[in-house]
Amino acid sequence: MQDTVQDNRQGIWSAGAGSGRFAPAQNFPAGEKISPKFKNLVVQIRFLRVRISSKENPTMNEQTITKDRLAKEIDALLAPYPDPMSRNDFRIACHIGTRTSLYLLQSGLVPCIHTGKRTRCYKIAKADVAAYLRRRMTEPEHYAPPSGWYKNDPQRKPPAVSLTRTLDYEIVSRLLLRRHLEQQLADAPDVLTVEQIARFTGYTPHTVSRWCTEGRLRTIQRRPRFMVPKTWLLDYLVSDDYNRITRKSGKHYGMIREIADMKR
């Protein structure tokens, strides 16, 4: 048998040196009559090569299938979001917190563009987010923030000055608090408007109006203009409801700090 079936068919089936390797050509030689039997033989050999290759490398085929499936899942996950994505979209899509997203973007682990704006200043390409998700599956430690990055990290130092968020009426007398507030409201009129109460407490007029609407702060006149006697305002300022407000204003915290310092 010759080294090749025919010289002009070396691109179809090279049998030199008994290698048995098959190197299919893209097309049959132009201008030559090829018998149907030979064409069928080439097709069968190609089919057998694919079968043998898949049996010899099952792991490679499984990895390819897994990668394709993961790519489709990532594409479906990022489909609802615009390109480029904002930091908030990036955080929601990847199921990570605000501090983690800031670390990934500021450290350069996830490429981004900083527009220089005070808010919504990050732009992240979808391709970079997809690359992050793929690598996070296999190397999560690559994206781990350094120790102390999170506020609740055990190695994080506590703040120098702790913030007292509520008054303990078992230690601080309500009467002491009321007298302190009466001194601050000495020059105020006997009946106050929503705007005057807002300036004194540090809360917005909308919040004060909500107190009146919900009946938490008593009034003598209903909408469109609430009027609150000074005595009723003092009753509310020393109540448990006012003390338990979660998101307090700066003036509210200042009042708590003053009363705590007076008690010491």
- Say what the pLDDT of residue 164 is: 54
Using alpha carbons, list the distances in angstroms from residue 98 to 91, 92, 101, 171.
7, 9, 5, 38
Predicted local distance difference test score (pLDDT) of residue 155: 58
**CATH number attached to the domain at 174-263:** 1.10.1660
pLDDT score of 17: 42
Ordered mean pLDDT values, 10 residues apiece, the chain (264 residues): 41 43 48 61 64 56 66 91 94 91 89 86 93 90 78 56 62 82 92 93 91 92 84 93 86 82 67
Q: What is the pLDDT of residue 21?
A: 46
DSSP string, 192-205: EEHHHHHHHHS--H
What pLDDT does residue 221 have? Answer: 76
Q: What is the pLDDT of residue 193?
A: 93
pLDDT at residue 145 in the model: 82
Query: What is the Cα–Cα distance from 186 to 180, expressed in whole angstroms?
Result: 10
User: Domain spans of the chain?
Assistant: 7-56, 61-143, 174-263
